[in-house]
A and B are shown apart, each in its own frame.
Chain A
Amino acid sequence: MYSLLKTLWLIFLHLFHRRETIEYPERKAYLAPRWRGRIILSRDPDGEERCVACYLCAVACPVDCIALQKGELPGGRWYPEYFRINFSRCIFCGYCEDACPTYAIQLTPDFEMSEYDRRNLVYEKEDLLISGVGKYPGYSFYRVAGLAIPGKDKGQAENEEPPFDPKTLLP
C-alpha cells in the first residue's frame, strides 16, 4: 500500500519535470555528423566528381536502389554517365558509403525529403551531386592513385615512388 502511494506521488511529481519531447517542425533534433540520411555525391578539392563508377556501391546495396553507368573521359578518367538512387527503396544502411573507394558517395544528416509523388524520390545525378567535398576535405582519389591521367604520370602521385625499371640493374 505504501509503495502504491509512493508511486502515485512520484508520478505526480513528473508534472514538473522537463519534457522529453522536441517539437519537431519548430525545433529540430540534433543529428550527429555521421547520421545516416540523404545520400550525396561529393567532389574532390579540384571540383571534379569523385565518383569513378566502380559499381561497388551498387553491388553493396542490399535493396538494389543504386543504378549507374560507367563512362570514360578522353584522359582515361572514369565517371558515371548517370547515377540514380531510388530513395523510395533506400534503407539508409550506409553500405554504399562503406564500399566507396573514393569517398564519393556519402550519407548526410538530413531526412526531410518527403514527396507527394513517389517518382520524385528517384534522385538523378544532378540531384545527388554537391559542390563540396563532404566529410573528407582534401582527399582526391586521382592524386593518391597510381593511375596515369593527363597532367600526372605514373609515379607522380602523393607518396608514390617512380616506377621501377626492370631493364636496369642499378638500385
Chain B
Amino acid sequence: MMAGLANVFGILLVLVITAALLTWVERRLLGLWQDRLGPNRVGPAGLLQVVADMIKILFKEDWVPPFADRIGFILAPAIVMAALLLGFAAIPVTPGIGVWPVDGVGLLFILAMISLSVYSTVLGGWASNNKYAILGSLRAVAQMLSYEVFLGLSLLGVVLQARSFDLRQIVAAQAGMWFVVPQFLGFLVFMTAGIAAIHRLPFDLPEAESELTAGFHTEYSGMKFGIFFIGEYVGIVLVSAMLATLFFGGWLGPVLPPLLWFLIKTGAFVAFFILLRAALPRPRYDQLMAFGWKLLLPLALLNLMVTAAVLLAF
C-alpha cells in the first residue's frame, strides 16, 4: 500500500516537475540549435528560470474574459492536464516503478486519454468566444480526425507481435529484439501521429502563432495558460515514453539500471521532438489531412496487414 502510494505520488511529482523543467530544456535546446545560448542567467545554467517563470505566472491575475463561457473556459486546461497525467498512469517505468502494477489494457487506456485531451483544445477555443480561438479549435478537430485513426492502427502491429495490450508484456516481448526493427513503418506512423496528437510542431496547427496569434489559448493568461503549457509538455513526455516503451524496449538494456534506460530513451525522444520544432516548418492543415488520410492511413493498414500475414504464416 505504502509502496503503491509512493509510486503514485513519486511519478506524479517527477512528471510535473519534469514538465516544468522542459520549458527550460526546450528553450536551451532551441537556443543551441539556433546558435544562441538560451536562458542562462537565473541560477546555475539558467535552471532557476523555471522558478522565476512560475513565480511570475502564479502572481498573474486569474482572469476569465467577460464574454467567455466560464465553465468551459476553466474546465479546458484542467482536462488536458488530467487526461495526460492519467495516461501516464499506464506507463511502466521499470518492473518495480509504475502506477498500475498490472495493466491488462494499458495501451488502450493511454490512447483513450490522448483522445480525451483533444476536448481540452476544442472546449478551450469554443469557450473563449474568440474567432482566432475557434479557428484553432476547428483545426484541432480536423487534425484529430486525421491522426486519431492511424494513431491506434499503427500500434496494432506491436500488439499483434506481443499478443497483448499490456505494456509490461509488450516490453517483455522485446527482450530479443526491439519492435522498432520489425515495426519500423508502425514506428514512423505512430511518431507522426503522436506529434500531431499533442500538437507539437510541425503539427501545432491549433495554436499556429504566426496565423492565429495563439490559436485555442489566445484568451488564456496566468496559470490557466501555464496549465495548457505544462499539459503540452506532459504530452511530450507521455508520447516519448510510449515510443520508448512500445518500440525501443522500455526499460530493457545492458549494463545500466532499468530506470536509467527508460529515462535515456524517453529523454532522447523529448530532445528529438524539440529538434523537430527547431527544424521543420508547419504544413497547411489541408496538407496535414491529405498527408494523414492518403499516406499514413494506408501505410498503417499495410503495416498491420503485413504483420498479421507474417504472424499467421510463420
- Mark interface residues in A1-29 (1 if CB within 8 Å of B CB, else 0): 00010011011101101111101000000
Tell whether, in the assembled complex, residue A21 and residue B36 are in contact, meaning their CB atoms are under 8 Å apart: yes
Q: Given the complex of chains A and B, what is the CA–CA distance between A8 and B273 in angstroms?
A: 11
Tell whether, in the assembled complex, residue A17 and residue B35 are in contact, meaning their CB atoms are under 8 Å apart: yes
* Chain B minimum-CB-distance residue to A7: B279
Q: B279 contacts which chain A residues (CB < 8 A)? A: 7-8, 10-12
Tell whether, in the assembled complex, residue B32 and residue A8 are in contact, meaning their CB atoms are under 8 Å apart: no
Q: Given the complex of chains A and B, what is the CA–CA distance between A109 and B278 in angstroms?
A: 36
Q: Given the complex of chains A and B, what is the CA–CA distance between A87 and B278 in angstroms?
A: 40
**B142 in the interface, Cβ–Cβ < 8 Å?**
no
**B213 in the interface, Cβ–Cβ < 8 Å?**
no
Q: How far is the CB of A52 from chain B (nearest CB, A)?
A: 47
Q: B278 contacts which chain A residues (CB < 8 A)? A: 11
Q: B276 contacts which chain A residues (CB < 8 A)? A: 8
**B280 in the interface, Cβ–Cβ < 8 Å?**
yes
> Which of B33, B36, B40, B280 makes the CB contact (< 8 A) with A12?
B33
Q: Given the complex of chains A and B, what is the CA–CA distance between A14 and B32 in angstroms?
A: 7
> Which of B34, B35, B280 makes the CB contact (< 8 A) with A8?
B280
* Chain B minimum-CB-distance residue to A23: B37
Q: A11 contacts which chain B residues (CB < 8 A)? A: 33, 275, 278-279
Tell whether, in the assembled complex, residue A8 and residue B36 are in contact, meaning their CB atoms are under 8 Å apart: no
Q: Given the complex of chains A and B, what is the CA–CA distance between A18 and B37 in angstroms?
A: 10
Q: Given the complex of chains A and B, what is the CA–CA distance between A15 and B34 in angstroms?
A: 8
Q: Which residues in chain B, 21-50, are within 8 Å of chain A measured between CB atoms?
A: 32-37, 40
Tell whether, in the assembled complex, residue A8 and residue B275 are in contact, meaning their CB atoms are under 8 Å apart: yes
* Chain B minimum-CB-distance residue to A17: B35
> Which of A7, A10, A20 makes the CB contact (< 8 A) with B36?
A20
Q: How far is the CB of A27 from chain B (nearest CB, A)?
A: 12
Q: B40 contacts which chain A residues (CB < 8 A)? A: 23
B interface with A by C-beta (< 8 Å): 32-37, 40, 275-276, 278-280
6 A-B pairs in the complex with CB atoms less than 8 angstroms apart: A12-B279, A17-B35, A19-B37, A21-B37, A23-B37, A23-B40
Identify the 7 closest CB pairs spanning chains A and B, nearest first.
Answer: A11-B279, A21-B37, A20-B35, A7-B279, A8-B279, A14-B33, A11-B33
